[in-house]
Chain A
Amino acid sequence: MAEQFPELTERLHRFIDRQHMFFTATAAQGTRVNISPRSTDWFRILGPGRVAYLDRTGSGNETAAHLKADGRMTIMFCAVDGPPLILRLYGRGHVLHRDSAGYAEMLADDFAGQEVPLGARQIVILDVDLVQTSCGYGVPFFEYREERPSMDNWESKKGPDGLKEWWREENIFSMDGLPTGIDDPY
């Protein structure tokens, strides 16, 4: 049976700490619904009702476009080992542009001690208005092995200029033509 909470509890903090992967789901009026898997390497709990992740470069930039146009976002974790559980965080998200003052501050405060990847393109923040857990019985068992080296390799091959060019070419509009804001001057 699903259980609802107004914010993240201690138990749920510990559950999130054990996860290696999460999913974000977003949409805006008239668009396709996007869902993306992400590594928890760059996920942070900022408070009982606020979470964030450092967003690395992707083929597209759907989440940012949807957050700009709409704002609704759901983050999902699900246990693939240990006790079964699915955790969903519902709320409204926004993007910190990489040239904004808030971005640099948050990198220094909340992502300190980790080398920022070359392809870090923005920070996504979710203000959570509902937390829900459900049984997770339907999720199969998996064993976590390691992070893929592919992203690091690709980013260093592209280099800073190549990445900027990539953002302009590939990350500037969503597949439905919404602006993502990545190229907005700051």
Chain B
Amino acid sequence: MRTDALVIGAGPGGLAAAEALLAAGHTPVIAEAKPSPARKFLMAGKSGLNLTKDEPEPAFVSAYSDGSDALAESLAAFGPEAVQDWARGLGQAVFTGSTGRVFPKAMKASPLLRAWLARLDAGGADLRRRWRWTGWDGTAARFDTPEGPVSVAAGTTVLALGGGSWARLGSDGAWAEILAADSQPVLPFAPSNTGLAVSWSPHMTRHFGTPVKGARLSAGSSDSRGEFIVSKHGVEGGGIYAMSRAIRSGAPLVLDLAPDLSAEEITTRMRKAGAKQSLSNRLRKALKFEAVKTALLQEWARPLPQGAALAARIKALPVRHDGFRPIDEAISTTGGLSWEALDAALMLKARPGTFCAGEMIAWDAPTGGYLITGCLATGFRAGQGAAAWLNRAVA
């Protein structure tokens, strides 16, 4: 078959590209390998869809790493304000939490996705489900479909094929081999925003599922006051995710269980709490430690020293972990298509007319709304580039 515009991948990046193409007057065919679109997006919305972060541009853009000018320009054109306007345009009121994180009022992703798909459909976009992209025949894109192999010759193509985690939701990273075989520079995937594996002693079992609040994590030059959760397999949650990059580069992870108190203050308070009390009682009374904090201290600092040495441990407790949890559990991945492959419009230099968007490109960002905004922003930019490419061909 023939089409003006082809978008491969119906996650937030691909759908944003389709929207940009529609806005420019082109009706794309959208090919999705799974039986339904945007599965990871829907899963991300399970406990609240964090769309973006409401903060001024310099701080917002600086949260991204391994980016490029093209990423910065994408975010300048479609940043936190634009994301919120876009959600409101889909009938989804949004609200900003105390930490600046922006959610739809409905919290879940499904109402927003439904409205978005309906709008794309009304505009004429043609969503094909169970179409798995298997590579190129010359310039035509090849698909395995329920009706057998299909070849699509498109005037322009946007690839929005996702990262390399949560394979069962569709982002299996299988595209990396196809692009590598096409001599595109592809970097190996690595987990980002992922939990750490810990081999807990049996004492920790009763704390599984408990959040650790009011602590500070640091690794290398990064630090975070974000929460984390003790789980069966280790530690996970925003505070840990924010350390991904530093841990990946080999920095040891250190936990400050009482970041608002100095070591001297801790020593004084502990002394006042009375020597006849058990340690956990003193920690609870003097430092307001919940059981989980005391358990972590016992877990990682046994045998516990006394006095000033104990205070030093509370301020800098080494987190003994066994590295990242498996990559498929990571919220996002780094690596993927190298920026070197792309021009400023996100077009593959070696395949004119083919653009790329979303998590498949090698950028990294913490959780907190940056990931979805990054996917949307590069999706719109790639779609606009594809539309400009078509218009130029017509001219």
Contacts and interface: CB of A to CB of B under 8 A. Distances in A.
Contacts of A30: 106, 110-111, 114
A177 B34 contact: no
Given A179-B46, A183-B168, A172 B39 contact: yes
A182 to B, nearest CB: 11
Contact of B114 (A69, A172, A177): A177
Contacts of B169: 172
Contact of B42 (A168, A170, A179): A179
A176 interface: yes
Contacts of B43: 179
A176 B110 CA distance: 7
Interface string A165-186: 0001110110111110001000
A30 B110 CA distance: 10
Contact of A169 (B34, B42, B108): B34
A177 B168 contact: no
B36 A173 contact: yes
B114 A173 contact: no
B35 A177 contact: no
Nearest to B42: A177
B108 A178 contact: yes
B167 to A, nearest CB: 10
A73 B109 CA distance: 23
B168 A173 contact: no
B113 interface: yes
Contacts of A176: 110, 114
Contact of B36 (A168, A177, A183): A177
B39 A173 contact: yes
A183 B110 CA distance: 17
A64 to B, nearest CB: 14
A173 B103 CA distance: 21
B86 to A, nearest CB: 18
Nearest to B37: A177
Interface in A131-186: 168-170, 172-173, 175-179, 183
Interface in B152-202: 168-169
Interface in A85-138: none
A177 B118 CA distance: 13
Looking at A172, A173, A179, A183, the one whose CB has the most chain B CB atoms below 10 A away is: A173
A169 B132 CA distance: 14
Contacts of B109: 177
Contacts of B39: 172-173
Contacts of A69: 108
Nearest to B232: A185
Contacts of B38: 177
Looking at B39, B42, B110, B168, the one whose CB has the most chain A CB atoms below 10 A away is: B110
Interface string B35-67: 110110011001000000000000000000000
Query: What are the nearest 3 A-B pairs in CB distance?
Result: A177-B110, A177-B42, A177-B113
Interface of B: 34-36, 38-39, 42-43, 46, 106, 108-111, 113-114, 168-169
Interface of A: 30, 69, 168-170, 172-173, 175-179, 183
Given A177-B38, A179-B42, 19 more contacts: A30-B110, A30-B111, A30-B114, A69-B108, A169-B34, A169-B35, A170-B35, A172-B169, A173-B36, A173-B39, A173-B42, A176-B110, A177-B36, A177-B109, A177-B113, A177-B114, A178-B108, A178-B110, A183-B168
26 contacts: A30-B106, A30-B110, A30-B111, A30-B114, A69-B108, A168-B168, A169-B34, A170-B35, A172-B39, A172-B169, A173-B39, A173-B42, A175-B36, A176-B110, A176-B114, A177-B36, A177-B38, A177-B42, A177-B109, A177-B110, A177-B113, A178-B108, A179-B42, A179-B43, A179-B46, A183-B168
